[in-house]
Structure 1
Amino acid sequence: MIHPTADVSPEAQIGAGTRIWHFAQVREGAVIGQNCIVGKDVYIDFDVVIGDNVKIQNGALIYHGATLEDGVFIGPQACLTNDRVPRAITPDGRLKTAEDWEVGSIR
């Protein structure tokens, strides 16, 4: 079942029994397994691979490079980026350690 407001590329593969809800977007080359639930406002980028029996809650963002195995649960508003070590490299190319971070607060 694909909700009429969902935007699913004809180049995406959607498994049997998968439900894609309101305003979700599934890009070209994405592969979604069987019996999955893709919630409202979910974004699935191109070439993402999702196994069987996966539940992706409302507003989650799954970006290029992500692979979800069978039975995975993604909570609401979660963001899976394509950056395996985000902001973890210093300007000179060294992997950051705890000493490289500054502790701060939000005012």
Structure 2
Amino acid sequence: MLDPTAVIADDVVLGEGVRVGAFVVIKPGTVIGAGVEIQDGAVLGKSPSLARTSTAPRDPLPGLTVGDGAVICCGAIVFAGASIAAGAIVGDQSYVRERAVVGERSVIGRGSCVDNDVRVGARVKVQTNVYLTAYTVVEDDVFVGPGVCTTNDDTMSRHDRAYQLRGATLRRAARVGGGVVLTPGVEVGEEAFVAAGALVTKDVPPRTVVMGVPAHVVRDVPDADLLEHWR
């Protein structure tokens, strides 16, 4: 079902049963799988507009791909070169940049930003107004609470082009509470728990609970809280 107000480029591939809402724009080269829902006002396959000083790669981008059964919600913008896997949900007014990957059945919450070259695994829950900065890695089954902010530049732009930006790494089944800030390059270990409002300035060991500003270890994650008991 295609709303008559939608603007769809000639070479876009639409799978069987795709639903396209009002005022949707789908740019050239985009491939949409079967049963995908694209809600009102979404823009798919947008090209990036990079600042002159940006260090992001400028190579030509392939088309956006959206897997079977995914949902792109109202007002979302998903760039060319991104990949949205089967069953994923990209929430209202969220933003997924070029070369980002969102894994199967993952959810990107309302107003959240998945920056360029971010990898989000399967079954990840990214809540409202989260910022996943460029080069962040989020492994499978991670929970990212509302308002979490990751950063990737220790110099805050006072560097030359050779400087390497470093996003955060969130290992499998880690949980990060609301309002947490993660500084460049930190790693949150597998099954770790970061309490709301923490400032993470160094790596968090696996299966530990950290809290505070700066975050520090307060105890271990109990066996009863491990993901294997909650599937």
TM-score range, shorter chain: 0.7 to 0.9
Residue 185 (structure 2) aligns with: 84
Q: Calculate percent identity across the aligned residue pairs.
A: 36
Is the counterpart of residue 55 in structure 1 residue 125 in structure 2? yes
Matched residue SS, 2:72: coil
Structure 1 unmatched runs, 5+: 89-107
Where do residues 1-107 of structure 1 align in structure 2 (5 Å cutoff)?
1-82=71-152, 83-84=184-185
The two structures have a TM-score, normalised by structure 1, of 0.76
Distance in 1 (CA, whole Å) between partners of 2:135 and 2:129 is 19
Distance in 1 (CA, whole Å) between partners of 2:126 and 2:116 is 16
- The aligned length equals 86
Shift of 1:81: 1.4
Deviations 1:7-61 (A, max 9, x none): 0012100010000111000000001110001000000100000100000000000
The residue identity in structure 2 corresponding to 1:71 is: D
Matched residue SS, 1:8: strand
The residue identity in structure 2 corresponding to 1:12 is: A
Distance in 2 (CA, whole Å) between partners of 1:15 and 1:29 is 13
Distance in 1 (CA, whole Å) between partners of 2:80 and 2:104 is 17
Q: Which has the higher strand share?
A: 2
Which of the pair has more CA radius of gyration? 2
Shift of 1:84: 2.3
Distance in 2 (CA, whole Å) between partners of 1:62 and 1:51 is 13
Deviations 1:60-103 (A, max 9, x none): 00001210000000000001112226xx8xxxxxxxxxxxxxxx
Residue 191 (structure 2) aligns with: none
RMSD of aligned C-alpha atoms?
1.3
Shift of 1:3: 1.1
Distance in 2 (CA, whole Å) between partners of 1:8 and 1:53 is 19
Q: For CA contacts below 8 A with separation 6 or more, give which structure has more relative contact order.
A: 1
